[in-house]
Amino acid sequence: MELNLTEDEIQRYSRHILLRELGGTGQARLKAARVLVVGAGGLGSPLALYLAAAGVGTIGLVDADRVELSNLQRQIMHGVASLGRAKTASGAEALTRINPLVQVVQHETRLDAGNVAALLADYDIICDGTDNFTTRFLLNDACVAAGKTLVSAAVLRFEGQLSTFKPHAGGPCYRCLHPEPPPEGMVPSCSEAGVLGAVTGVMGTLQATEVIKEITGIGQSMSGWLLIWNALDAQFRKIKLNKDPACPVCG
């Protein structure tokens, strides 16, 4: 890829460019990338902030909600001044403040079966920062159909999990891990069970790291692996995740 960075960009991203594995070519790939972040909350906040700081050229934010006081314990894109504002508008302002060189596209809508294909179409990599199984499964199925890489994270209480799903490249999809959504009420939401705010920060930052790796081609992809972290005992577990030949979506 042609190195098309300005002098200001070279200075801004100098600590990236010093990395032999990334360098100017990797930074140019970040500049050219288009990443969609679904959910501008606990996971989406650190994820989007680090993508913006890293110089990802275009970042789309999908969220239909408005900022509430109970969000501020973990959703670090937003502050007291944003209470009542659309999360996409508050988030776009925060991302532009940290890096005015990136383009932020606001999608103030709830992702559903009617709009998911159109929302995904303009982006290279999709990030799942949602907090409900209905949206998570819909997003997975749409990414499989569109041949898009999906970087997914989830949190609850003191635990988080992370994986990258690339069935178009031979890896498993989310349904290889969970074929169907759990029965309603079986798994509590964060609003029911709670979540330690810093846990969303850790998992969202790990998500951003995996997105950067996928864009630049550095390191080992998390495709085919599931990372589980428990904050209370500070233990990470990495579990092999195989493609399910009987998967209803990608098998």
Cβ 127 vs Cβ 47: under 8 Å: yes
CA angle 37, 29, 56 (to 5 degrees): 35
Domain ranges of the chain: 11-240
Rounded to 10 deg, the angle between the 197-216 and 44-54 helix axes is: 40
Helices of type H across 55-196: 87-98, 116-121, 133-146, 174-177, 190-193
The dotted CATH code for 11-240 is 3.40.50.720
Residue 205 to residue 46: CA distance in whole angstroms: 6
Residue 186 to residue 66: CA distance in whole angstroms: 27
Here the tokens at position 80 are 């007291």
Residue 171 to residue 25: CA distance in whole angstroms: 26
Burial class for 230, CB neighbours closer than 10 Å (0-12, 13-18, 19+) = middle
Q: What is the CA 250 to chain-centroid distance, rounded?
A: 21
Cβ 241 vs Cβ 224: under 8 Å: yes
Burial class for 8, CB neighbours closer than 10 Å (0-12, 13-18, 19+) = exposed
- Look at the block and give the residue holding tokens 């495709």: 223
Cβ 80 vs Cβ 57: under 8 Å: no
Cβ 42 vs Cβ 18: under 8 Å: no
Is the pTM higher than 0.85? The answer reads yes
Which CA distances in Å does 66 have to 40, 72, 81, 89, 241?
10, 12, 12, 9, 36
Give pLDDT < 50 ranges for the chain.
1-2
pLDDT score, position 4? 84
